[in-house]
Amino acid sequence: MESRGTNNSNAISQARCIHASRLPEYRTPFGARPCDSHTELFFDCYREASGVTLCYTYGLYKFSYHEEPMYRVSGSSRYHVDLMLPHEPSILFYWFRFKVAGDCEDLPEGYLVNRPEDISEDAFTAPELTLYYGAAADTADGEGTLYREPPRVGADEDKYPYAFQITVYNKEFKTPDYMKGANIYQIFPDRFARDTGFNVEAMKNANPRPERVYHEDWDEDVDIYGKPETGYLACDFYGGSLRGIKEKLPYLKELGINILYMNPIFEARSSHRYDTADYLNVDPMLGGVSAFNELSREAEAAGIKIILDGVFSHTGADSIYFDKFGRYGTNGAYEAFRDGTESRYRSWYNLYRTADGNINYDSWWGFPDLPNVNEDDLSYRNFIFGDKGVVDTWTSRGADGFRLDVSDELPDGFIRQMRSTLKAKTNGEGMLVGEVWEDASNKCSYGSYRDFMLGNTHDSVMGYTFRHILLDFLCGYISAEVADSRFEGFRERYPSQAYYCMMNLVSSHDVPRIMTMLGKPCETDDREIQRGIEVDAGDYDRCASLARMAYAFQNAYIGAACLYYGDEVLMQGYKDPFNRRTYPWNRLTSKQTETLAFFKRIAGLRKVNSCLRTGFYKTLLAHEGAFAFERYLSEGRDFFGHQGTGARKIVFLMNRSEKPLYATVSDSFAGTAVTEITGDWHPPLSDNMIFGGTENGTLTIGLRPYSAAYIIY
């Protein structure tokens, strides 16, 4: 990619008005910054401009606005300011303001103010315009654009025009090293594996409920009807268990996995278990606490950490704490309110009577099976964070961290207390990941910016933004230029400690599987139609190639690569519950077996080469359907200054297009760059990748359509 160096900055400033937040000649150092540090900002402005001013506002729940005059660099139209960043973790937005004559020749089209014809040129005084320079979407190097009005940055405002952003994070922020560049495997526990001692009758008797549906056949499709008397309640079970997972630990090791993330395992009524019934016990259907203890011990011996799914914004109506159906006999909040008695859980919920005398209560998104919890209630917090509470109990049993369900629906104070408690219980090594679907660095909810990327709450978040960008690129909805700009935008806004721990995913229990999405299915909410959605046979090979490319990219890019169970064998499935089908252990096709071998081979690269886990990053090429970047060590050390192992540099190249492509890559560390790419192919292809000879310090390779390659130095 073209880079505008400082040696020609004066020429640029004479011709253009520009600030590019990702180039060192305009902002240094790069990206998010710790509190009390400094950032230098440079702005090339029109030569006739006056009153060039840096405008900025910073804060979190409340913002403070300020203006600072910028100083012209001698002999140029470049302006500069050295900004000391806030002492408190905060979000800082900035933009530039200046004035120009209305008929200044440098103004872009649309900003020119014409001189009236009946006024002579000598008598005419050009009006003065106030212009603003702010951020723009999907531009190379974070280059901004001109606006006629200042950016809007209020939590409840439409954020257009855009402002530039600096994330100012806690200077003590540090995340566990084992999460940086990790290989994560996500399991939906009921659907991954039965243990060798599985018994159908034992499954039915483990924790019986009249509304439950039991699948005796592991390969049977998921239920979408439920019992006739209840309708669909997501209460169908296959008997996957924690001991089944334990028996598959060797399989996970073959995939290079070092972190196991499980969807909820606490006792609950449904098979998804997001309706918690008992936070302190493993669901009997999964084998109980003893099964978790066995899994924890063997996972630790295998070098695999365990992250649990924590659902703390709501509980189940059928639970110890609420007990709407009277199945627990614990004097839960619902029955206590109904009977006019008292309950230790009463203050956790907001129950009330309607005008007609019926009992009602706040619930998650209006689902009556999921009553909301008041997370600021001190009794509830003591239950979660206190001695022998939820965090204490599970860390003592061997859990290494939590993924927080619906983080943006939890108060910041609750998440801060969760992180501090978790760190205290694990000597600072516990991992806290949040479910955030949008940009966590400037996420707004409930009328405020959220404290998500400032080093106080989450260690990192789930990479739904990563998935969105990568899928859009692979499906051809955006170009490599746009994809690179969006990836670089997140790298700029997230602290490195968090970005290297991003749970980058392409599938999950909440979204359609990647193989299905690559087939570009039509949107539908009809479950009967959803059941039959799968990739057309004639398009299967193309989609399979793209799915493998997605994992190869994920495996090479910054962050933790999260593999949703079954993606390694190209499982298909549209929305819930079809993305939660059982793993096809004994019925893999030859193509699935080949893909599994591919996944194991690629995972091995990440395992032995630290540059792919914690190395530096540089985009080499982003052009239409071609994307190339390098991960490298600098003088043998990674981004965090640790001694690296394996290759000193790995270049990743990907061709999403329908035509074969050539790329020429420098064979020297200092000058690595993709310098040529064409659609002409000679000699003919014989594999996914052909290596040409090295000539004049360059390596020429060819990529087949829908293929990717690693070049290891």
The whole-chain average pLDDT of the chain stands at: 90
628 with 513, same domain: the answer is no
Strands (E), 603-697: 616-623, 626-632, 649-655, 661-666, 689-695
- For tokens 């939890």, what's the residue? 410
pTM exceeds 0.95 for this model: no
Residue 539 annotated to the active site: no
pLDDT at residue 237, as a whole number: 97
Q: What percent of the chain has pLDDT over 70?
A: 89
- For tokens 């309640």, what's the residue? 233
Last residue of a domain, one of 147, 169, 191: 169
- Rounded to an integer, the average pLDDT of 449-456 is 97
* pLDDT tens digits, 371-395: 999 999 999 999 999 999 999 999 9
Domain of 463, CATH number, reads: 3.20.20.80
C-alpha–C-alpha distance, residues 366 and 325, integer Å: 18
pLDDT at residue 696, as a whole number: 59
C-alpha–C-alpha distance, residues 618 and 488, integer Å: 10
Q: In angstroms, how far is CA 285 from the centroid of its own chain?
A: 31
C-alpha–C-alpha distance, residues 561 and 515, integer Å: 17
Please report how the helices 464-474 and 540-556 are oriented relative to each other, as an axis angle in degrees rounded to 10: 140
355 with 379, same domain: the answer is no
Phi/psi for 514 (5° steps) reads -60, -40
Last residue of a domain, one of 169, 186, 202: 169
4, pLDDT greater than 90: no
Does some domain include residue 452? Answer: yes
15, pLDDT greater than 70: no
Banded model confidence at residue 711, pLDDT cuts 50, 70, 90: confident
649, pLDDT greater than 80: yes
Closest CA to 87 of 202, 170, 175, 185: 170
Does some domain include residue 665? Answer: yes
Kindly give, in sequence order, each residue whose CB lies less than 8 Å from that of residue 178, ignoring residues fewer than 6 positions away: 258, 259, 305, 429, 431
511 with 630, same domain: the answer is no
695, pLDDT greater than 80: no
Does some domain include residue 611? Answer: no
Q: Residue 582 has what DSSP assignment?
A: P
114, pLDDT greater than 60: no
Instruction: Decide: 707 and 688 in contact? Cβ < 8 Å.
Output: yes
pLDDT at residue 670, as a whole number: 38
Name the least confident of 96-105, 211-220, 343-352, 580-589. Answer: 96-105
Name the least confident of 326-340, 499-513, 678-692. Answer: 678-692
Instruction: Decide: 614 and 225 in contact? Cβ < 8 Å.
Output: no
Banded model confidence at residue 697, pLDDT cuts 50, 70, 90: low
Domain of 328, CATH number, reads: 3.90.400
Q: Residue 502 has what DSSP assignment?
A: -
Q: Residue 602 has what DSSP assignment?
A: H
370 with 386, same domain: the answer is no
Residue 405 annotated to the active site: yes
Does some domain include residue 610? Answer: no
Instruction: Decide: 700 and 710 in contact? Cβ < 8 Å.
Output: no
146 with 207, same domain: the answer is no
432 with 546, same domain: the answer is yes
* pLDDT tens digits, 596-645: 999 999 998 999 999 999 999 999 889 899 999 999 999 999 999 999 99
pLDDT at residue 127, as a whole number: 73
DSSP-derived pairing of the beta strands 183-187 and 259-262? parallel
171, pLDDT greater than 90: yes
- Rounded to an integer, the average pLDDT of 168-173 is 97
- Rounded to an integer, the average pLDDT of 648-660 is 89
- Please provide the DSSP assignment of 183-196 as one string: EEEEE-GGGT---T
483, pLDDT greater than 80: yes
Among 318, 369, 435, 630, which one carries the catalytic annotation? Answer: 435
89, pLDDT greater than 90: yes
Name the least confident of 14-28, 167-181, 596-610, 697-711. Answer: 697-711
Please report how the helices 378-385 and 412-425 are oriented relative to each other, as an axis angle in degrees rounded to 10: 30
Does some domain include residue 586? Answer: yes
pLDDT at residue 3, as a whole number: 34
Name the least confident of 381-390, 495-504, 536-545, 658-667. Answer: 658-667
C-alpha–C-alpha distance, residues 68 and 47, integer Å: 19
* pLDDT tens digits, 289-305: 999 999 999 999 999 99
380 with 266, same domain: the answer is yes
Count of structural domains within the chain: 4
508, pLDDT greater than 80: yes
649 with 676, same domain: the answer is yes
User: Which residue range forms the structural domain that includes residue 119?
Assistant: 6-169
672, pLDDT greater than 90: no
462 with 597, same domain: the answer is yes
25, pLDDT greater than 80: yes
Q: Residue 7 has what DSSP assignment?
A: G
264: cis peptide before it, omega within 30°?
no
50, pLDDT greater than 70: yes
Helix (H) or strand (E) holding 14: helix 9-15
Domain of 41, CATH number, reads: 2.60.40.10
* pLDDT tens digits, 425-443: 999 999 999 999 999 999 9
432 with 576, same domain: the answer is yes
Does some domain include residue 116? Answer: yes
- For tokens 């994330």, what's the residue? 167
Does some domain include residue 669? Answer: yes
400 with 457, same domain: the answer is yes
Does some domain include residue 609? Answer: no
Domain of 693, CATH number, reads: 2.60.40
- Rounded to an integer, the average pLDDT of 572-601 is 95
Among 190, 405, 484, 488, which one carries the catalytic annotation? Answer: 405
CB atoms within 10 A of CB 78: 24
Sequence-ordered alpha helix ranges (H) in 164-279: 200-206, 242-247, 249-254
189 with 144, same domain: the answer is no
Helix (H) or strand (E) holding 710: strand 707-712
